[in-house]
Amino acid sequence: MSHPSRQSEPPSHRAAGAGRFAPSPSGDLHLGNLRTAVLAWLFARSTGRRFLMRVEDLDRVREGARDRQLADLAELGLDWDGDVVSQSHRLSRYDAAIAELHAAGLTYECFCTRREIQKAASAPHAPQGAYPGTCRNLTPDERADRLAGGRPPALRLRAGVTSFTIDDVLHGSYSGMVDDLVLRRGDGTPAYNLAVVVDDAAQGIDQVVRGDDLLSSAPRQAYLAGLLGLTAPTYAHVALALNEDGKRLAKRDGAVTLTDQKALGRTPSDVLGVLATSLGLAEPGEVVDLGILLDRFDPARLHREPWVVRLPTPPQSP
């Protein structure tokens, strides 16, 4: 790769840690996802970290999406260290972490349906969005009763706190809710919050850069890391891309993927230029590459507002 990445510094100048991008292969990446990936790369490389790629394929997998996502990231010029890791190949690690929590008495089975949780959580005084603890203290008879119902239970964390504070490079000190989060779903799948904590630690990731839709999940993840004896990473939750109505950018908004953009005649370099402009790292129309952006990148001067994406109006269907 031709850009003067700080990767080429001697090892003694490199931070030991790593950053990462961890897409879910549920579809193609859109401009907002690509922008977050570029930021994660810039944060990692500008601090001498390795940059790792992890495919979060425990659910919502769409055929071919993984390869298209990786190809799009590579076309923008992103590089990553080592092999791409897939969560579906790491189930034994999640099992081991759950077993550790279980052995410490920090888990319980939950038989609630989604609807029951919503109902209980909407009761007056229930903390917003928190699991209300319905199954936390079931008696042996109640548990046997529910097991007889035949619905396989989810496994939840018996959390010892209701809130936790993390430090975020962009948001400062941030306190958020911690509840008895799901560790393993009723269908046996390890939950995202568990998998992300286990993987970040196991991969030596000490810098998490991702969309700020996940800011409110960071306190529970950092708390869970502590319970597992792991060090939580530093966080930078970056603003999302929005459509012109101020809603989170989505595929239905039009030509939002790299493939869509190429079909409109834009090259990957043009798209990188648009992303860089949105970050205040390039002038409109300027030709840049990641090496140039790396030289210009300064987290302290990062544009923190959401990026409102203006797309050409899609042709009206007849």
By beta-carbon proximity to ligand GLU, the closer residue of 22 and 76 is 22
CA distance 42 to 73: 13
The catalytic residue among 119, 247, 251, 262 is 251
By beta-carbon proximity to ligand GLU, the closer residue of 22 and 194 is 22
Q: Draw the binding track, 181-220, toward ligand GLU (x: CB under 6 A; -: no contact).
A: ---------------x-------------x---x------
Active-site residue, 247 included: no
Q: Is 12 annotated as a binding residue?
A: no
Question: Could you tell me if 111 and 151 are in contact, meaning their C-beta atoms sit under 8 angstroms apart?
Answer: yes
Of 5-13, 21-29, 41-49, 234-242, which part binds ligand GLU (CB under 6 A)?
21-29
Long-range contacts formed by 111-120: CB under 8 A, 24+ apart = 111/135, 111/146, 111/147, 111/149, 111/151, 111/153, 112/154, 113/151
Q: Draw the binding track, 131-170, toward ligand GLU (x: CB under 6 A; -: no contact).
A: ----------------------------------------
Question: Could you tell me if 3 and 78 are in contact, meaning their C-beta atoms sit under 8 angstroms apart?
Answer: no
Between the alpha carbon of residue 20 and those of residues 6, 36, 41, 55, 209, the distances in Å are: 16, 11, 7, 10, 7
Among 28, 56, 179, 253, binds ligand GLU (CB under 6 A): 56
By beta-carbon proximity to ligand GLU, the closer residue of 232 and 288 is 232
Write down the least CB distance from residue 217 to ligand GLU, Å. Answer: 8
CA-nearest of 239, 262, 260, 216 to 308 is 239
Question: Could you tell me if 309 and 253 are in contact, meaning their C-beta atoms sit under 8 angstroms apart?
Answer: yes
Write down the least CB distance from residue 9 to ligand GLU, Å. Answer: 26
Write down the least CB distance from residue 120 to ligand GLU, Å. Answer: 27
Q: Does 22 participate in binding ligand GLU (rule CB under 6 A)?
A: yes
Q: Does 85 participate in binding ligand GLU (rule CB under 6 A)?
A: no
CA distance 131 to 177: 11
Write down the least CB distance from residue 313 to ligand GLU, Å. Answer: 28
By beta-carbon proximity to ligand GLU, the closer residue of 78 and 112 is 78
By beta-carbon proximity to ligand GLU, the closer residue of 111 and 307 is 307
CA distance 69 to 86: 13
Question: Could you tell me if 136 and 180 are in contact, meaning their C-beta atoms sit under 8 angstroms apart?
Answer: yes
Write down the least CB distance from residue 34 to ligand GLU, Å. Answer: 12
Q: Is 131 annotated as a binding residue?
A: yes
Helices (H) and strands (E) in the chain, counts: 10, 12
Greatest pairwise CA separation for the chain in angstroms = 69
Q: Does 24 participate in binding ligand GLU (rule CB under 6 A)?
A: yes
Q: What angle do CA 66, 70, 74 make, to 5 degrees?
A: 170
Token code pair at residue 100: 């550790």
Q: Is 223 annotated as a binding residue?
A: no
- Positions touching ligand GLU (CB under 6 A) are 22-24, 56, 196, 210, 214
Which residues are tagged catalytic? 251
Q: Which residues are part of a known binding site?
A: 20-24, 56, 110, 112, 131, 135, 192, 210, 251
